[in-house]
Amino acid sequence: NATLTRFFTLHFLTPFIIASFSLIHLLFLHETGSNNPTGLNSNSDKIPFQPYFS
């Protein structure tokens, strides 16, 4: 019974963990930019993700 409870808990929490990692990934991509392999600051081609994002 303990194994079934752990299995259910794992399957219940997995979508939330994946969603949180996806949101963190999108936040990091928004801050750094996705097509910047040189590491130089290029603010000219950014589209605002949210108007009040600072």
Q: Is residue 7 part of a domain?
A: yes
pTM of the predicted model, to two decimals? 0.58
Q: Which residues of the chain have pLDDT under 70?
A: 33, 35-49, 52-54
6 is in which domain, residue-wise? 1-30
With respect to residue 19, please indicate whether it lies within any of the assigned structural domains: yes
Domain count, the chain: 1
pLDDT in the model for residue 37: 66
Confidence (pLDDT) at 32:
73
Residue 16: its pLDDT value, please?
Answer: 98
33 within 8 A of 42, measured Cβ to Cβ: yes
Long-range contacts of 24-33 (CB under 8 A, 24+ apart): none
Beta strands (DSSP E) in the chain are none
Taken in order 35, 40, 45, 49, the sign of the CA dihedral is: positive
Residue 40 lies in a domain: no
Whether residue 47 lies inside any domain: the answer is: no
The answer to the question of residue 54 being in a domain is no
Look up residue 37 and give its two tokens: 């392999």
Collect all residues with Cβ–Cβ distance below 8 Å to 33 and sequence separation of at least 6. Answer: 42, 46
